[in-house]
Structure 1
């Protein structure tokens, strides 16, 4: 609405003020001009009556006086001369409103008689005859009698009306001009304010680069300059806050731990991807439908309530989808009270698994060493106590002691080798190798063992690149371990197939057997130390140390490759590895 705007209010204020002043001024002007016209008419009539009376007193003849009076009078007036001998002379007039002034009216009308009696006062008097307003002025004669000048007020009123119209017209023009200039001036004054309003609206929408044009050098111009400075400062601070927010968001999003930020009502304010995964897993485990609204985990709710009640950090543990989580919930303060909390959820499964592996490692090493140590101790006591009487018996016991010592040495060497690999201290002696001849030689080496175990060993080659860069001894150690395991875990009449593929990018080798297979629950652990599948299905003489596959994995990873296993129980197992042909 125009009248609700600053331009409308300012224009209306100026218009009302000027209109009020003009109305008061016109009122006094009309009063002044009304009295002025009457006063001027009286003065003119008085001068005329005095001139005529002086002519009469100068003893001129009557005809001359009457002719001179006709020339001196105003055509719209009427002059009446009362001579001393009570004779009257009445002039002509162009004003029909004065036709009532005649000899009959002078002789018979009481109003005319009253004028005659008061002629000595030389004052003007207003008359109303037959609704006609007339003003009269009289001057006495020296020898008696008087001169009267009559004039109708309609002529004066007409002049007054013309003056009033002129004043009203001038006032109307002044009001129109005032309205125009008030709107123009208000628009000029408020134009920068309108620009500032538009700029402020743009600021609320985040357009902080909006500038207000500085149109004047007055207070409004100074306001525009300060407004632009404020916008620049806001833009600077908002950009700084946005950068800090993005940095914080990036930090939170890149954290491996899950982060929840909750308010007092348990509503999620901030959440990162690991926390999203934790929330999805909890809802999947505790709810039936996939499209139901996600709920906050119970332990997290309890921790939030405890933090709000006690105003201290709370530590809780939970198990979800077979994984162990530790939840640290700390309060967030808003001045003096807790406004929410930050929950950091860490997946401790790997740490717990490593701790278990450490304990299992000690137990497995103790177990692996206990048997040969017991055998060494037992057989050596038999020799010392002369239980073995013949030389052949002693040689047999000594042979067993020697084999167990070799077994212990092999175990210790493999442990040391594995420790160096896991510590990143493995040394690779990379050289160019003819891969086809290399693979054929290793497979040929196991043909005798395969025949002894009544297992068929075959080799399939698809070599597009003959020369590769690798540590031949280490890769031979990997292939030897995989082929030996495949043969040892295959029954008589079984089959072990070795597939080798090479191109310009990588060397891919698979060792496939149709043996007993590996249980599905054991597959994630086959490359860990001392892993052995179900020991009830493995003959005593076929058991190894359980370190070969772990060593093989470290060797392949040192070559920047990868090793994996696929197996189905009672159908067979396939171990495969892939390494680059060019070592970097």
Structure 2
């Protein structure tokens, strides 16, 4: 005698599934917020140390040349702090998850403001190839920013001894209604056997968070795929062990940009 789930059991299973998905999204959001907070904290600490050190230099040396140098360095550090603050405030102010015409090149610029010193610290150079004719995409800027930050941090972590990250943005060659964003690193690469699971929740090729406290939760790439899927887009990975990894994102062009074209 076979036992088939009744309507009540099915409803309960659906409710449990929805609850678990909600918990996963909450954990993914917390992980993303934690990495963003860690990044911003490191950046501010670098700026503050620059201000403090050059302020001490200006106090110790009373000659005009030393003080001019100290004040110039303090001014430059303060201007960088203002950029970091404005970037974070812009993300905090725009909490809307609504989809709207979004300039991906601006998201790339703001991401690099937050990660510039971190990349320098780990001897990683970042190259950008941005097609100025790239149309805006239909997207939530906050969500795509989280995806981009995650991919850039992953790329940095894949290069222990330093390396190069290439960020490439432009219209798709095979579909005028699609924009492609690629993040490629020159790191260690990913084993072919691991690629089919790379976007699975809780699956990670890392042992755990690195010395900066980032990565290794197995939630980052799963969240990236969920976000891109929700945008009616696609994300895929290409990797060769010893040669590096590339993540390619395809997002639909906004209706306004298509109409203008």
TM range (shorter): 0.5 to 0.7
Instruction: Decide which of 534, 541, 557 is 2:229's aligned counterpart.
Output: 557
Unaligned ranges ≥5, structure 1: 1-357, 363-409, 419-426
Match of 1:446 in 2: 115
1:517 aligns with 2:130: no
Tell me, yes or no, if the aligned pair for 1:495 and 1:513 is still in contact at 8 Å.
yes
- Superposed, which structure 2 residues align to 1:240-389 within 5 Å? none
The structure that has the greater radius of gyration is 1
Aligned residue-pair number? 168
C-alpha deviation, 1:441, in angstroms: 2.3
Q: Sort the Cα spacing of 1:411 and 1:430 in 2 relative to 1 into closer, same or farther, 3 A.
A: closer
Tell me, yes or no, if the aligned pair for 1:431 and 1:471 is still in contact at 8 Å.
yes
Tell me, yes or no, if the aligned pair for 2:28 and 2:223 is still in contact at 8 Å.
no
Tell me, yes or no, if the aligned pair for 1:559 and 1:583 is still in contact at 8 Å.
no
Match of 1:483 in 2: 152
C-alpha deviation, 1:534, in angstroms: 5.5
Secondary structure, counterpart of 1:520 in structure 2: coil
Q: Sort the Cα spacing of 1:465 and 1:518 in 2 relative to 1 into closer, same or farther, 3 A.
A: closer
1:462 aligns with 2:75: no
Q: Sort the Cα spacing of 1:560 and 1:533 in 2 relative to 1 into closer, same or farther, 3 A.
A: same
Q: Sort the Cα spacing of 1:552 and 1:583 in 2 relative to 1 into closer, same or farther, 3 A.
A: farther
Q: Sort the Cα spacing of 1:552 and 1:412 in 2 relative to 1 into closer, same or farther, 3 A.
A: closer
Secondary structure, counterpart of 2:237 in structure 1: strand
Deviation string 1:93-142 (CA, Å, 9 cap, x unpaired) is xxxxxxxxxxxxxxxxxxxxxxxxxxxxxxxxxxxxxxxxxxxxxxxxxx
- Superposed, which structure 2 residues align to 1:526-565 within 5 Å? 526-533=198-205, 535=207, 539=210, 541-565=213-237
Q: Distance in 1 between matches of 2:28 and 2:228?
A: 17
1:435 aligns with 2:48: no
Unaligned ranges ≥5, structure 2: 1-16, 32-95, 257-261
C-alpha deviation, 1:543, in angstroms: 4.1
C-alpha deviation, 1:437, in angstroms: 2.4
**RCO higher in 1 or 2 (8 Å CA, sep ≥ 6)?**
2
Q: Sort the Cα spacing of 1:583 and 1:561 in 2 relative to 1 into closer, same or farther, 3 A.
A: farther
Q: Sort the Cα spacing of 1:458 and 1:512 in 2 relative to 1 into closer, same or farther, 3 A.
A: same
C-alpha deviation, 1:568, in angstroms: 1.0
C-alpha deviation, 1:573, in angstroms: 0.6
The two structures have a TM-score, normalised by structure 2, of 0.57
C-alpha deviation, 1:417, in angstroms: 8.0
